[in-house]
Structure 1
Amino acid sequence: MMALLVVGLFLLFIAVGIPIAFSLGLSALIYLFVAGVPLTVIPQTMFAGLDSFVMLAIPAFILAGNLMNAGGITNRIIDFANALVGHIRGGLALTNVASSLGFGGISGTALSDTASIGSVMIPAMKKQGYGAGFSAAVTSISSTVGPMLPPSLPMIIIGTLASISIGDLFLAGAIPGVLLSVGFLIVTYLISVKRNYPKGEKQSAGVIAKSFLGAFWALLMVVIILWGILGGYFTPTEAAIVCVIYAFIVGKFVYKELKFNEIPQILMSTLRTTASIILLVALANTFGWILVAEGVPLLIADSILSVTENPILVTLLIIVLLLIVGMFMETIAALVILFPVLLPVAESIGMDPIHFGVVMVLALMIGLSTPPVGVCLFVASSFAKVRITTTVKELIPYFAIAVIVLVIVAFIPSLSLFLPGLFE
């Protein structure tokens, strides 16, 4: 009964428009009052959720992404992607998807991808005759690829929660991320051909090489992260600090677009983003503690396994649950609350924790482009100056391919575990 109270309050607060972090905190506070539990539980559980050295990687990676973005990274990745695929029918839309694949490996967050790529690509696509809803849809859905690639903030959260190698998680998301991008590219091309969207001129090998050299220093950041972590040269947190230094040097002295007077604004933006994430993780940990105290994880596990113990059906039930949760809950909050709950269920059917982590992140990423709380959907629609419903209609074929890729990744573990296995 008390579990229903806290979950019901949480859903009610979200429904009336209270931010998710505060919805978590308020519902937890009311529960503690009603249950007669000392309020000291709140600061204790909040601190416990943040008391990890790895968590320091989050603000550092966010700062590195902001520095690279201010230093000219976005335009160079777009130029390189456009040189590769711009000559194909629907070239600018394909460039949008390809740019997200490159930029996602820098920012580590879908929202940063949507804002950075969208601010450049959506106006350009509309100017060339692409529909506003289609432009927003491509930008929104392609940004979900970013968190599948290093440095992925959701993967860092999972690694912290379950003491799983973050380097292995980074590698595990690579193939599914590329597979997702390929699916989006195919859908984008087919729609572009059907609607006869424009195509650009084919670039010479020299132009492609020049654009690659322009984006090289940006893309090298991903290599540095993986090489350093997997090679044992530094921890994920130390890798984040190295990336900050690297991003500053590249933006200031290589691209020469980063200005000293921009740094205070970059730091403030990083602080705001970090504060929102940290508060969310801390309060989600308190909420999760209450769920555990009320036996909700066991209840959910028993409920799923009581329906069926067939591994295929259990996997499908988990996928459906995650897709529904992703529609209503912010990704990091969902990870902190549900990963510890669902991991035992996944392990009971023989699913590897790393594999399950990739499946969970991929499922929740789809929710970033779905109403009612899809933040990437809202941001992209805002840039395109189009109604949310119009963008959602354009997203339907992308949702279909994303779910297909999710099911494939869920039932073919080697797609996630092959690369980590090479470095054991």
Structure 2
Amino acid sequence: MVLMLVSSFSRYVFSLSIVWADEFISIAFLWLAMLGCVIAMRRNEHLRLTVFLEKASPALRGYIQAFAIIMVAICLGALVSPSIEYAQEEWFITSPALGIPNTYRVAAIPVGISLMLLTVIGYAMRTVGLRQLVITSVLVAAAAGLLFLLEPLFHEITSLGLIIFLIGLVALCLAAGVPIAFCFGLGTIGFLTFSSYVPLMVVVSRMDEGMSSVILVSVPIFVMLGCILDATGMGKAIVDFLAALLGHVKAGMSYVLLGSLFIVSGISGSKVSDMATVAPALFPEMKRRGNKPKEMIALLGTGAAMADTVPPSIVLIVLGSVAGVSIAALFQAGFVVALVLLMVLLLLARWKARHEDVHNVKRAGLRQAVKLSVIAAPALLLPFLIRGAVGSGMATATEVSTIAVLYTLVVGQVLYGGIGVRKTYGMLVETASLSGTILLILGTASAMAWAITQSGVIQGLSTFLANLPGGWIAYMAVTIVVFLVLGCVLEGLPALLLLAPILFPIARNLGINEVHYAMVAVTAMNIGLMMPPIGVGFYVACRIGGEPPDEVMGAILPYLGALLLGLVIIALVPGISTFAL
């Protein structure tokens, strides 16, 4: 982060480029990603689906956990040798500026995989009973033996291997609670091993390509930005200011909740960070005014889904990288799209609060409002700084992220109490862990997308989708349904990674503006993320709000309906996404 900031400053102020900076950043970035994966493995923080695991009986749960651990170990074990071979092959590729072999960079992959494997083995010995581990291992070995016997059939019928490995095995592992990144990895490894003659080194190569884009360097920096926002209290300052302005009117606290999510999301770029910042500051006062906890959590979850297109959005950065769409254009369009979704949620919140009694609510005095505005002003300035820098072309999404971090650190240190050394270390570890989980999903999803493309199914699917009756409107409808469903199951982002290379070229052929299509896909994915009973974001919102999901499930449906209405409007009116470009 420091080198990127220095490099940007040198280029814009002195017109002097540090020619070796990008290469060094690329090396450090891949090492950060892989060591972050190890930290996340040690802390058991890799993203996974736990809905089915939590519903299983305690006895069955032990065997499911043993299965998940074994499958992760198989995935990592299968990649150790190919990753070492890949690192050796890269010795013959030399970086232009630094003049060193690329092995110094890609060696992070075998090191990270090996350390994760050791961590998994240690975790299994601590948490799983020997009987469960042995029985599950025998069953997995028997299934593998059967697959080896059927290998000639898989080579003869490629579609059979596609269904069993890239659909069936991935779905089974997802249901068993295997981390999403390893589900994709296992599906790809199984398909290539039993249905093709392609060496597994290709998987490592595709992982490297999926994780190493310079654009993605902004992911850990924006994660760090969210941690700083939470630690300094800048987010709370914004919430307090909005509460002083709107808290006394009907649905006022709902307005404050949604407005806070809209503004804060433009700083942190993370839904979880947004919800964790806003909820503790607002929920006590909302409860005091008679708001039901389930309604508050429903509004929190759908508000976070609405705000995920507000820049700087990690999802938009990743999508721009994968689909080849201008990130600056996505940032400009995302702000307008989020405004449309904000309006439909505000209207619903006002209708629900039509009988709310606010006579006893004291309005904030002018002096207090001015004081809170002065405190919040530096924090309120940051979203506009980010959008202005990217939109004007002054800085890329990656460069502006470093500027935002520097600004937040300085402002937080001077005006908001600062951050201690211990908390700074904790934020760095948290950033590495979360970034590692995200980037590993990007890497294995890239490998899986390549395997699906090589299977030949994509050509048939593309032809089918391109010839749907109803033209671009029918294609948009299919896109919405697909991303709603996959957004529930795959935690959203992996669905974009898998489908963007497939769906975006078809959209272009049908004459759909790529920015408009991106906004529809991202919005549908975010809504799916909050849809019960599977949506991962729904359970995160319930956990932050401290209410059981069963209580919140009914309350969130009207808000999801409002978001779906907003999505239909965005899909049918391309100008909403494109007029600001």
Indicate the residue corresponding to 1:177 in structure 2.
338
Which of 167, 172, 181 is the aligned partner of 1:21? 181
For residues 259-408 of structure 1, what are the structure 2 equivalents within 5 Å?
Answer: 259-408=420-569
Q: Deviations over 1:248-289 (max 9, x none)?
A: 001111222433331111111111111111111111111111
Match of residue 192, structure 1, among 329, 353, 377? 353
Question: 1:197: Cα distance to partner?
Answer: 7.9
Name the SS of the counterpart of 1:99 in structure 2.
Answer: helix
Partner residue, 1:3: 162
1:219 Cα offset (Å): 2.3
% identical aligned pairs:
28
Q: Does 1:149 align with 2:287?
A: no
Task: Please give the per-residue CA displacement for 1:291-314, whole angstroms capped at 9, x wherever unaligned.
Answer: 111133333322323442522222
The worse-fitting range, judged by mean Cα deviation, of 330-339 and 311-320 is 311-320
One-letter amino acid of the counterpart of residue 541, structure 2: A
What number of residue pairs does the alignment pair up? Answer: 420
Q: How does 1:68-79 map to 2 (within 5 A)?
A: 68-79=229-240
**Offset from partner CA, 1:197-224 (integer Å, 9 cap, x none):** 8873333444333323222212222222
| Post-superposition offset of 1:403 | 0.7
1:12 aligns with 2:12: no
Shift of 1:329: 1.3
After superposition, the C-alpha distances for 1:24-77 in whole angstroms (9 at most, x for unaligned) are: 111112112112321101110001112311111111111112112211112111
- C-alpha distance 118-297 of structure 1, shift in aligned 2 (>3 A): farther
**More displaced stretch, 35-44 vs 394-403:** 35-44
Match of 1:173, SS state, is helix
C-alpha displacement at 1:93, in angstroms? Answer: 2.6
Taking structure 1 as the reference length, what is the TM-score of the superposition? 0.94
Instruction: Indicate how the Cα distance of structure 1 residues 189 and 385 shifts in structure 2: closer, same or farther if over 3 A, else same.
Output: same
Query: Any stretches of 5+ residues in structure 2 without a counterpart?
Result: 1-158
Q: Deviations over 1:91-119 (max 9, x none)?
A: 22322111111111111121221222223
TM-score by length of 2: 0.69
| Structure 2 SS opposite 1:386 | coil
Report what 1:40 is aligned to.
201
State the partner residue of 2:405: 244
Query: Which has the higher Rg, Structure 1 or Structure 2?
Result: 2
| Counterpart residue type for residue 351 of structure 2 | L
CA distance, structure 2, for counterparts of residue 392 and residue 159 of structure 1: 33
Answer whether contact 2:275 2:304 (CA < 8 A) is retained: yes
Q: Structure 2 CA distance, aligned partners of 1:125 and 1:37? A: 58
Alignment of 1:195-234 (within 5 A): 200-234=361-395
Compare 251-260 and 53-62 and name the one that shifted more.
Answer: 251-260
Amino acid at match of 1:31: F
Answer yes or no: is 1:91 the counterpart of 2:252: yes
Q: Distance in 1 between matches of 2:419 and 2:327?
A: 30
Contact 1:297–1:342 (Cα < 8 Å) also in 2: no
Partner SS, residue 353 of structure 2: helix
Q: CA shift at 1:192, angstroms?
A: 2.2
- Give the equivalent residue in structure 2 for 1:61: 222
RMSD: 1.9
Larger mean CA deviation between 383-392 and 396-405 belongs to 383-392
Q: Which amino acid aligns with 2:557?
A: I
Tell me the alpha carbon deviations over residues 334-372 of structure 1, each in whole angstroms, 9 at most, x when there is no partner: 111111111122222211111111111111011221134
Counterpart secondary structure, 1:419 = coil
Supply the distance in 1 between the matched residues of 2:337 and 2:389 (Cα, whole angstroms).
Answer: 22
SS in 1 for 2:316: helix
**CA offset at residue 379 of structure 1?**
2.1
The question of whether the paired residues in 2 share the 8 Å contact of 1:89 and 1:192 is answered with yes
Choose 91-100 or 355-364, whichever is displaced more: 91-100
**Structure 1 gap segments, 5+ residues each:** none
> Structure 1 residues 198 and 289 mapped into 2: Cα distance closer, same or farther (>3 Å)?
farther
Q: Distance in 2 between matches of 1:401 and 1:199?
A: 30
Contact 2:251 2:356 (C-alpha < 8 Å) held by counterparts: no
